[in-house]
């Protein structure tokens, strides 16, 4: 009895499918044979078709535009970083050339300096803000005979710090602007060294007598003619016996990609 019931259901399903197929075939024949229906159907395809294609094309173009805009933005960001780094390097190099000109350094002195020191180029693996505060990690160490106390410069003559720790293939550099770090410097045209103190992230502060001739924009160098920074502000207070001099590195320490380690010979 149950088997007979299932057979009847199968027959009904087959008849239903045949009826639907016949109906579709009948409508198709009418569309083909009857001119008004054929024309209406054709017009509908011509009207709806382009809109569907346009929609699909717009979606495709929108996707392509989004991907293109994203890639373009990423490229612009990368180029902007490179341009900022190059700008910092060029500023430091210009200051270096100006310093050499003002000091009237002779060729003999330059050659003598080259004989006294060796420069080892190093890549900056990590720096502010990725490294610990006011430090760099560079990719040379014992493998290049780097030693604690070796000075590190940027763009030829902009001193940035000293090697503080040495490992097999890397070293840690403590920046001169490390908070509380004290260094001897020359301000502007003065030939009298004074003590400056690091304030972090390339910033320094020094106190000089009130009669000192220092101005914004003056260069700050080490006693052996390495550039440290540019005076950004001279703060005078009549209640104080000294003048506060604020200066900073002429380049952005967060954008340094390569530096040089100076090794005395």
DSSP assignment of the chain equals -HHHHHHHHHHHHHHHHHHHHHHHHHHHHHHHHSHHHHHHHHHHHHHHHHHHHHHHHHHHHHHHHHHHHHHHHHHHHHHHHHHHHHHHHHHHHHHHHHHHHHHT--HHHHHHHHHHEEEEEEEEEE-TTTSSTTEEEES-SGGGT--TT-EEEETTTEEEEEEEEE-SS-EEEEETTSTT-EEEEEETT--S-EEEEEEETTEEEEEEETT----TT-EEE-TTS-EEEEEEEEEE-TTSSEEEEEEE-SS-GGG--EEEEEEE-
- pLDDT above 80: residue 121: yes
Contact 218, 188 (CB under 8 A): yes
Of all residues in the chain, the percent with pLDDT exceeding 90 is: 38
Determine the average pLDDT of the residues in 34-47.
47
Residue in 182, 184, 191, 262 with CA at minimum distance from that of residue 222: 184
Winning range, highest mean pLDDT, from 13-17, 81-85, 105-109: 13-17
- pLDDT above 90: residue 127: no
- Give pLDDT tens digits for 47-89: 444 444 444 445 455 455 545 555 555 565 555 545 455 554 4
Mention every residue, 6+ apart, whose C-beta is less than 8 A from residue 263. Answer: 117, 118, 119, 120, 145, 146, 147, 150
Contact 181, 108 (CB under 8 A): no
- Residue 136 — very low, low, confident or very high, per pLDDT cuts 50/70/90? very high
- Residue 90 — very low, low, confident or very high, per pLDDT cuts 50/70/90? very low
Q: What token pair was written down for 261?
A: 């380690």
pLDDT in the model for residue 49:
41
Quick count: other Cβ atoms within 10 Å of Cβ 99?
Answer: 16
Angle between helices 35-103 and 2-33 (to 10 degrees): 90
Structural domain includes residue 237 = yes
Among 8-22, 87-101, 105-119, 232-246, the minimum mean pLDDT is found in: 87-101
CATH label of the domain that carries residue 231: 2.40.10
Structural domain includes residue 66 = no
pLDDT in the model for residue 213:
87
Structural domain includes residue 109 = no
Structural domain includes residue 67 = no
Of all residues in the chain, the percent with pLDDT exceeding 70 is: 55
pLDDT in the model for residue 79:
52
- pLDDT above 80: residue 8: no
Structural domain includes residue 97 = no
Structural domain includes residue 165 = no
Structural domain includes residue 231 = yes
pLDDT in the model for residue 238:
87
Structural domain includes residue 163 = no
pLDDT in the model for residue 68:
52
Higher pLDDT, 51 or 186: 186
Question: In which domain, by residue range, is 237 found?
Answer: 182-248
Task: Output the CA torsion sign for 214, 243, 160, 86.
Answer: negative
Among 19-33, 155-169, 230-244, the minimum mean pLDDT is found in: 19-33
Mention every residue, 6+ apart, whose C-beta is less than 8 A from residue 193. Answer: 184, 185, 186, 223
Q: What is the domain count for the chain?
A: 1
- pLDDT above 50: residue 195: yes
Higher pLDDT, 39 or 260: 260
pLDDT in the model for residue 197:
96
């Amino acid at each position: 009895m149950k088997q007979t019931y299932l057979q009847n259901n199968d027959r009904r399903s087959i008849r239903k499918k045949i009826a639907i197929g016949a109906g579709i075939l009948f409508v198709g024949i009418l569309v083909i044979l009857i001119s008004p229906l054929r024309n209406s159907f054709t017009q509908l395809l011509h009207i709806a078709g382009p809109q569907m294609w346009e929609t699909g094309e717009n979606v495709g173009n929108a996707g392509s535009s989004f991907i293109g805009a994203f890639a373009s933005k990423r490229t612009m960001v990368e180029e902007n970083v490179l341009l900022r780094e190059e700008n910092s390097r060029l500023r430091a190099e210009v200051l270096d050339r100006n310093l050499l000109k003002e000091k009237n350094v002779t060729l003999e002195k330059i050659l003598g300096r080259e004989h006294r020191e060796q420069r080892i180029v190093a890549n900056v693996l990590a720096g502010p803000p990725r490294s610990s505060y006011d430090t760099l990690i560079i990719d040379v160490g014992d493998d290049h005979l780097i030693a604690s106390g070796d000075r590190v410069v940027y763009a030829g003559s902009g001193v940035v710090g000293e090697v503080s720790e040495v490992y097999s293939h890397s070293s840690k550099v403590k920046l001169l602007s490390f908070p509380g770090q004290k260094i001897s410097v020359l301000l502007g045209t003065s030939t009298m060294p004074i003590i400056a103190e690091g304030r972090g992230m390339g910033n320094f502060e020094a106190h000089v007598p009130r009669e000192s001739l220092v101005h914004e924009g003056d260069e700050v160098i080490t006693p052996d003619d390495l550039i440290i920074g540019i005076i950004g502000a001279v703060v005078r207070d009549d209640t104080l016996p000294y003048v506060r001099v604020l200066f900073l590195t002429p380049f952005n320490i967060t954008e340094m990609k390569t530096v040089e380690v100076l090794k005395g010979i």
